Amino acid sequence: MPIYEYRCPSCGFQKEHLQKMSDAPLSSCPSCGATGYAKLLSAAGFQLKGSGWYATDFKGGGSSAAAPASSSSSDPTPAASCGGGCACH
């Protein structure tokens, strides 16, 4: 079940509620009883990790031929370096 965050415009009370997606949205504030208790828009609470399709097929956006060229033994940059193409240098 998803967790929804609500806020009351009258008293400022804010709370998270565990609800089914099929449940009707809450409308009255549990603190002051005023109507207008509204859902807030929040970021998702998960992150994709690992070597799934995102990391292997989508994230890089480049061709697979570019990867072996940057890791050759004749390349003077260390393996841990990004090659100077980012903001970490």
Q: How far apart (Å, rounded) are the C-alpha atoms in residues 60 and 36? A: 45
Can you give the pTM of this predicted structure? 0.48
71-86 pLDDT tens trace: 445 555 455 556 556 6
28-45 pLDDT tens trace: 999 999 999 999 987 766
Q: Which of 6-10, 54-58, 68-72 has the lowest mean pLDDT?
A: 68-72
Query: Quick one: pLDDT at residue 10?
Result: 93
Q: How far apart (Å, rounded) are the C-alpha atoms in residues 76 and 70? A: 10
- CA distance between the termini of the chain: 44
